[in-house]
């Protein structure tokens, strides 16, 4: 019996320690910080206040939140618009091909996302490959502004996050029982009706899974706005980064983070209501 | 049976990856009949069904429904509906929404839909289940929803693809009766595909036995059982003893054959056989009499296996010369293994077949 | 037929989009010029130059060290935790079962700054070790989820059968459970290794001075321009991972075909 106790301890203690020290403690601490204020040197003043949360609703910050959400939504929609046809085209292909395609989607992931984003600079900048190509092809006389603006940011975000949409949509589309499609056809449904009535309801949790895994990073990936936005456009990620590293206003940064966590939880709740499973999130 | 042909397949062929699954297949199906396409898996029966529903295109040949050439008409527009093997109920829709689906696609008025749907649901005895989802239903109930979803469209023909297979034995038996009743009531042509011969025999007006993409026999259940056209059918339908025999001479209205080494018997047949021809004879186990006493024209054998199955006893009897004959008897007397018995054939119930 | 080609074209375009930046990086690794601006001449010199760039080599070695260490540790902890959560009842189990999803769903930046805050609170110095701990922090849940999916109700039956035959807890785990969960462990480990290599955000907040990892090094030189030796190193890394993945795919599809037979 003593052996059993040791056995159980080995299998349960690490997760207890991990959860409380590396998940609960950090989050509780920034929750605590979010109700403090900071002095002009970045020191923390331990006085209870709601001011950080009120500050989020300043016009300056609201604008950043709004622009950030806009980039997130545009990125998510573009990813959905690419992923659905992609998955539908491959739906009836053999498991062998589907497996291969999934692997091919994953390969770019094996290089660091920052390095891949850098690849886009070579492509998008004024004297970059795309502009040179357009000029040589006579499609434009002077180089287009493809980066250091919102376009560049969205390209970078879509590029970095597309696989997170492709993979769940593919797996949910591939799982649709073909009998359902045939039954709908048999009952007189046209392709668009089949898509609306059968395919969307069957894959909605996959789509929302992808949307979660695209939208949430898209409002936080400050390095993409830094590199492809040229520091001109700020998203929530940049705002938090600045509060922690430049402005050194940790309490305000924490408040924004808590705000983000609340939004995330609401989205996850919605995902679960649509029939999504937690275990499917973020998996490949 | 009405003589109006509702579905006509004319020299239909289907190729998958350069291989013919169905080749020059022709079949007329009459209005209001219950016809079963019976065959083992991979024989092409489901492909035939799918070519009728339009879910599969024909490689060559023509398909007519109600005298209209529908060869190039999409499944969406054919006036036939299918009950799928696993029912293919839409999981995110309620029973009512499932049944209403096809009518909604046809943009039928909502009031009309309400009426037709509740009629169909009533018909399959699912009143009160309208707002349930498929996963809340038992297998039998799911089957009923699938049927309601098909018949609500008032199709000319209802296609059923192995529709009872996924149900357990008891449920299958009761659904067989119900399906047959329903078909009689509605007068819709049912084309049923199955590999289960008991279903085919108990429900169908006609059975088409299919082997390797071809119809080997098309007839009523009684004729198929009692007069199989060839060894394949005899073996496929029910239990049968298939015994090699030789034609000794022709007699009035039949032949005299020699089988089981030196046993001679007269068989009635309308078909012509040549003297000296090697043939096979088919005898159903229940058509062989068994007795502990020797009778005129009986053969002696030893019981090597005896199994009791409720209403009859199934025996395997070893005849000298290493023949095992299956016999089914309702005789109450106890037959034990290793016991000597005598079997007797009924010359009216032996079917001679060419090899 | 026309539709068929446009469908194929769409798939190809998506893949071009996914591979284009990488292709460009690889192409410029063979550029003899010292910038990624103009392609001058074909040359292998940047491949040889990798070794001379000690900052780059150090950053790369740090990245590997972080990835390998955090993968090993998080795989071990994740695996035993998944089994622990499946098998035992213990305080806070239900709570933990939902808390472990937090690192998967919350924005990385929030995880990054909250870990940074706690390290500061505990007065821990930021270094390569703080990066490793942070990577372990976000990796464990992925391993748990991956292993969990292989532990089904069927597993309980096997366990009971083994117990019935007199196996101890330890031998049940070793002989019965391990073979069942191995695919989950492998895919979990592969996933967290990839995530660790890919990570920018968490490392950015939890790295100490002098503990550069490859992404942080690149981030720091991005403003002044990236030299093609970075491209060269990236190309080598890509080639290695590509070979590994292709081999895995071939093995897997053989398996699928065998099972189909």
Using an 8 Å CB-CB cutoff, list chain A residues near B81. 186-187
Superfamily (CATH H level) for B239-353: Nucleic acid-binding proteins (2.40.50.140)
Give me the residue spans of the domains in chain C: 53-233
Note the pLDDT of residue A148: 87
Number of C-beta neighbours around residue A94 at 10 A: 13
What mean pLDDT comes out for the span B135-144?
A: 90
A202/B76 Cβ within 8 A? no
Neighbouring residues of B218: CB distance < 8 A, sequence distance ≥ 6:
B27, B206, B207, B208, B209
Instruction: Report whether pLDDT(C81) > 60.
Output: yes
User: CA C22 to CA C17: how far, in whole Å?
Assistant: 10
The predicted-structure confidence for B68-98, as pLDDT tens digits, reads as follows: 999 999 888 898 999 988 889 999 899 999 9
The predicted-structure confidence for C95-151, as pLDDT tens digits, reads as follows: 999 999 999 999 999 999 999 999 999 998 899 999 999 999 999 999 999 999 888
Going by the DSSP 8-state scheme, the letter that residue C31 receives in this structure is: B
pLDDT, chain C, mean? 87
Q: What percent of chain B has pLDDT above 70?
A: 99
Note the pLDDT of residue C2: 57
CA-based nearest residue in chain B for residue A185: B76
Using an 8 Å CB-CB cutoff, list chain C residues near A212. 105
Exposure of B152 in the CB half-sphere (CA atoms within 13 A): 35
Pairing of strands B206-211, B340-345: unpaired
What's the burial of A49, exposed, middle or buried (CB within 10 Å: 0-12/13-18/19+)? middle
Give me the residue spans of the domains in chain B: 5-235, 239-353
Note the pLDDT of residue A282: 63
Instruction: Report whether pLDDT(C244) > 90.
Output: no
Low-confidence residues in chain A, pLDDT < 70: 1-2, 282-284
User: What sign does the CA torsion over C11, C16, C22, C27 have?
Assistant: positive
The predicted-structure confidence for B253-277, as pLDDT tens digits, reads as follows: 889 998 888 888 888 888 888 888 8
Neighbouring residues of A50: CB distance < 8 A, sequence distance ≥ 6:
A35
**8 A C-beta contact, residue B280 and residue B242:** yes
Architecture of the domain whose range is B5-235: 3-Layer(aba) Sandwich (3.40)
State the pLDDT confidence band at C74, using cuts at 50, 70 and 90: very high
User: CA B30 to CA C53: how far, in whole Å?
Assistant: 85
**CA separation (Å) from A109 to A240, B104, C228?**
25, 45, 20
Closest CB from B76, B91, B92 relative to A185: B76
Strand-pair partners of B281: B243, B352
Number of C-beta neighbours around residue C92 at 10 A: 14
Note the pLDDT of residue B331: 78
A90/C25 Cβ within 8 A? no
Across B274-278, C75-79, C245-249, least confident range? C245-249
**8 A C-beta contact, residue C62 and residue C124:** no
Instruction: Report whether pLDDT(B28) > 70.
Output: yes
C15/A22 Cβ within 8 A? no
Instruction: Report whether pLDDT(B206) > 90.
Output: yes
Going along chain A from its start, the domains and CATH numbers come out as 53-280 (1.10.3720.10)
ipTM: 0.89
Note the pLDDT of residue C231: 86
Note the pLDDT of residue B1: 46
Note the pLDDT of residue C255: 67
Closest CB from B74, B81, B91 relative to A187: B81
For chain C, the straight-line distance linking the first and the last C-alpha, in angstroms and rounded, comes to 32
Closest CB from A180, A185, A190 relative to B55: A185
**Which of A4, A42, A111 should one mutate to test binding to chain C, selecting the residue with the greatest count of C CBs within 10 A?**
A111
Between these two residues, A263 and B322, which has the higher pLDDT value? Answer: A263
The predicted-structure confidence for B55-64, as pLDDT tens digits, reads as follows: 999 999 999 9
**8 A C-beta contact, residue C88 and residue A235:** no
Note the pLDDT of residue A109: 74
Note the pLDDT of residue A249: 92
**Which of C5, C105, C131, C229 should one mutate to test binding to chain A, selecting the residue with the greatest count of A CBs within 10 A?**
C105
Note the pLDDT of residue C253: 66
Closest CB from C107, C111, C136 relative to A219: C107
Instruction: Report whether pLDDT(C260) > 60.
Output: no
What mean pLDDT comes out for the span C197-213?
A: 87
Instruction: Report whether pLDDT(C259) > 70.
Output: no
The answer as to CATH 1.10.3720.10 being correct for domain C53-233 is yes
């Amino acid at each position: 019996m003593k052996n059993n106790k040791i056995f159980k301890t080995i299998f349960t203690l690490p997760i207890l320690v991990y959860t409380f020290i590396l998940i609960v403690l950090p989050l509780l601490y920034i929750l605590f910080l979010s109700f403090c204020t900071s002095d002009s040197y970045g020191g923390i003043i331990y006085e209870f206040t709601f001011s950080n949360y009120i500050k989020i609703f300043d016009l300056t910050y609201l604008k950043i939140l709004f622009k950030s959400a806009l980039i997130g939504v545009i990125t998510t929609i573009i990813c959905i618009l690419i992923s659905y046809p992609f998955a539908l085209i491959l739906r009836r292909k053999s498991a062998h091909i589907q497996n291969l395609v999934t692997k091919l989607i994953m390969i770019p992931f094996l290089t660091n996302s920052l390095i891949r984003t850098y690849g886009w600079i070579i492509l998008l900048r004024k004297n970059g490959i795309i502009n040179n190509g357009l000029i040589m092809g006579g499609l434009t006389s002077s180089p287009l502004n493809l980066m250091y603006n919102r376009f560049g940011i969205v390209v970078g975000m879509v590029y970095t996050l597309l696989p997170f949409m492709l993979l769940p949509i593919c797996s949910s589309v591939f799982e649709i029982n073909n009998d359902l499609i045939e039954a709908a056809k048999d009952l007189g449904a046209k392709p668009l009706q089949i898509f609306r009535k059968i395919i969307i309801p069957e894959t909605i949790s996959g789509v929302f899974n992808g949307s979660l895994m695209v939208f949430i990073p898209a409002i936080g990936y400050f390095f993409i706005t830094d590199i492809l936005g040229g520091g001109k456009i700020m998203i929530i990620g940049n705002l938090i980064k600045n509060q922690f590293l430049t402005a050194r206003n940790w309490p305000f940064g924490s408040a924004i983070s808590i705000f983000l966590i609340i939004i995330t939880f609401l989205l996850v709740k919605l995902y679960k209501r649509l029939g999504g499973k937690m275990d499917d999130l973020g998996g490949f | 049976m009405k003589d109006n042909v509702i579905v006509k397949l004319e020299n239909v062929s289907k190729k998958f990856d350069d291989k013919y699954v169905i080749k020059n297949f022709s079949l007329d199906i009459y209005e209001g009949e219950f016809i079963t396409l019976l065959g083992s898996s991979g024989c092409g029966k489901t492909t035939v069904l799918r070519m009728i529903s339009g879910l599969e295109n024909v490689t060559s040949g023509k398909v007519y429904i109600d005298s209209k050439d529908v060869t190039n008409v999409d499944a969406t527009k054919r006036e036939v509906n299918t009950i799928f093997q696993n029912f293919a109920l839409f999981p995110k829709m309620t029973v009512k929404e499932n049944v209403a689906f096809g009518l909604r696609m046809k943009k039928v008025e909502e009031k009309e839909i309400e009426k037709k749907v509740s009629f169909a649901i009533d018909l399959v005895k699912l009143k009160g289940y309208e707002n349930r989802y498929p996963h809340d239903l038992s297998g039998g109930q799911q089957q009923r929803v699938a049927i309601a979803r098909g018949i609500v469209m008032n199709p000319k023909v209802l296609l059923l693809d192995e529709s009872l297979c996924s149900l357990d034995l008891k449920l299958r038996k009761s659904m067989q009766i119900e399906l047959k009743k329903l078909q009689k009531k509605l007068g819709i042509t049912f084309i049923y595909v199955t590999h289960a011969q008991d279903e085919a025999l108990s429900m169908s007006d006609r059975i088409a036995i299919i082997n390797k993409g071809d119809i080997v026999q098309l007839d009523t259940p009684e004729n198929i059982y009692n007069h199989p056209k060839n060894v394949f059918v005899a073996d496929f339908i029910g239990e049968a003893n298939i015994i090699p025999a030789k034609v000794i001479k022709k007699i009035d209205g039949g032949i005299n054959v020699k089988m089981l080494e030196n046993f001679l018997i007269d068989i009635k047949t309308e078909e012509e056989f040549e003297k000296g021809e090697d043939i096979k004879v088919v005898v159903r186990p229940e058509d062989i009499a068994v007795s502990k006493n020797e009778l005129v024209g009986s053969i002696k054998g030893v019981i090597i296996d005896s199994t009791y199955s409720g209403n009859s006893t199934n025996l395997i009897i070893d005849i000298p010369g290493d023949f095992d004959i299956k016999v089914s008897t309702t005789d109450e007397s106890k037959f034990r293994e290793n016991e000597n018995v005598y079997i007797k054939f009924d010359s009216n119930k032996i079917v001679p077949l060419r090899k | 037929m026309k539709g068929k080609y446009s469908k194929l074209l769409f798939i190809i375009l998506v893949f071009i989009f996914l591979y284009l930046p990488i292709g460009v990086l690889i192409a410029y690794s063979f550029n003899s010029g010292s910038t990624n601006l103009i392609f001058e001449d074909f040359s292998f010199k940047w491949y040889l130059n990798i070794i001379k760039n000690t900052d780059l080599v150090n950053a790369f070695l740090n990245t590997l060290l972080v990835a390998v260490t955090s993968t090993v540790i998080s795989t071990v902890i994740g695996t035993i935790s998944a089994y622990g959560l499946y098998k035992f009842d213990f305080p806070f189990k239900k709570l933990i079962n939902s808390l472990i999803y937090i690192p998967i769903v919350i924005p990385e930046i929030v995880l990054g700054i909250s870990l940074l805050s706690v390290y500061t609170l505990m007065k821990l110095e930021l270094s390569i070790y703080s990066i490793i701990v942070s990577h372990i922090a976000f990796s464990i849940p992925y391993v748990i989820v991956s292993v969990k999916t292989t532990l089904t109700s069927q597993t309980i039956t096997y366990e009971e059968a083994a117990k019935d035959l007199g196996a101890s807890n330890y031998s049940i785990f070793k002989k019965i459970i391990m073979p069942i969960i191995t695919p989950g462990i492998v895919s979990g480990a592969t996933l967290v290794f990839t995530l660790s290599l890919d990570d920018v955000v968490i490392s950015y907040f939890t790295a100490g001075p002098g503990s550069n990892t490859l992404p942080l090094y690149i981030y720091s030189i991005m403003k002044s321009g990236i030299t093609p030796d970075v491209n060269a190193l990236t190309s080598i890394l890509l080639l290695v991972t590509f070979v590994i993945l292709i081999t895995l795919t071939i093995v897997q599809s053989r398996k699928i075909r065998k099972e189909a037979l």
